[in-house]
Amino acid sequence: MAVVEAVGLTKRFGTITAVENVSFHVREGEVLALLGPNGAGKTTTVRCLAAILRPTSGYALVAGHDTRTAPRRVRHLVGLLTEFPGLYGRMKPLEYLDFFGAMQGLDAHTRRARAETLLKQFNLWHARRQRLGQFSKGMRQKMALVRALLHAPKVLFLDEPTAALDPEGAYQVRQAIADLRRRGHTILLCTHNLVEAETLADRLLIIHRGRILARGTIEELKAHVLGDPVFRVQLAQPLEGLPDLLGDVVSPLEWGPDWISYRTRTPTQTNPAVISRLQAAGGHIVTLVEEPRRLEDVYLRLMGAVP
């Protein structure tokens, strides 16, 4: 079931079209990454979905509620982590969460119980007596996540959650997001970090200049953008006539005296046939591996194809 649905979403600021005719959905319990360079329109999309901005045309639904006609309801259903969340440095974690929980209309008992559970879940409980101003950036970002989760939202929007963090802080926050994913939260994650998208997302939307360039799981995107996977066989010694030997089994892509690579859509059939043929010709196979294909290759290929 779709928790979030964007249909023909368009947002213009004067003459700038930040988001143009974007349609997609986020299913219950999935992490969808919105991946794109600076200025692609990620933040604008999220702000429309969170009922902070009104779309110029098109519409968005959160749990079936239209952001245009039921903005308050939508804001209640959404937990939002913005790019540069401000924390009140003089406050301590429980005091801070109590303050925001009250603003969200939670009663005192629920506020305290949720705050305690979340601080423990995010490994911040030990720091509950420190002021937020003394927290590291990674801890502050996790606090911002706790704040976004306090009212038990139906969906979380995370806008560049690790952009301003050092590697350790980014790692901590990614671990926290991975934990939320395991717990079945529905998350829309905006990022221009490919590792983050690759490790955290179930599906990706690649967005550029306000338009969706490609969408799918990482495997689907790799197959769609980069073609069928490539396998490489390494032999112990050179083998005479290597490419011709395999000519009727696969079409060789590249080869050397003791190695060969080929592309195949059906490795479960092709690879055993390649092995048999090479062994019958006296070849000793050292390895047969799929060549690694990274999300980076997909992303750069797509960005390179944009005029």
Contact 190, 160 (CB under 8 A): yes
- Both structure tokens of 209: 């200049």
Q: Which amino acid is at 203?
A: R
Match 């955290």 to its residue by tokens: 200
- Our finding on whether 138 is near ligand ATP (CB under 6 A) is no
Among 15, 38, 266, 287, binds ligand ATP (CB under 6 A): 38
For 187, which DSSP code?
E
Q: How far is CA 15 from CA 19, 75, 179, in A?
A: 12, 28, 41
Give the x-and-dash track for 174-193 against ligand ATP (CB under 6 A): ------------------x-
- Our finding on whether 44 is near ligand ATP (CB under 6 A) is yes
- Our finding on whether 50 is near ligand ATP (CB under 6 A) is no
Tell the smallest beta-carbon distance from residue 39 to ligand ATP (Å). Answer: 4
Tell the smallest beta-carbon distance from residue 6 to ligand ATP (Å). Answer: 14
- Both structure tokens of 150: 């306090």
For 40, which DSSP code?
S
What residues are paired with 81 via a beta bridge?
A: 158
Sign of CA dihedral 144, 145, 150, 155: positive
Tell the smallest beta-carbon distance from residue 18 to ligand ATP (Å). Answer: 3
- Our finding on whether 41 is near ligand ATP (CB under 6 A) is yes
Among 6, 9, 30, 36, binds ligand ATP (CB under 6 A): 36
- Our finding on whether 15 is near ligand ATP (CB under 6 A) is no
Tell the smallest beta-carbon distance from residue 281 to ligand ATP (Å). Answer: 54
- Both structure tokens of 232: 């490489």
The residues that touch ligand ATP, with contacts defined as CB under 6 A, are 13, 16, 18, 36, 38-44, 192
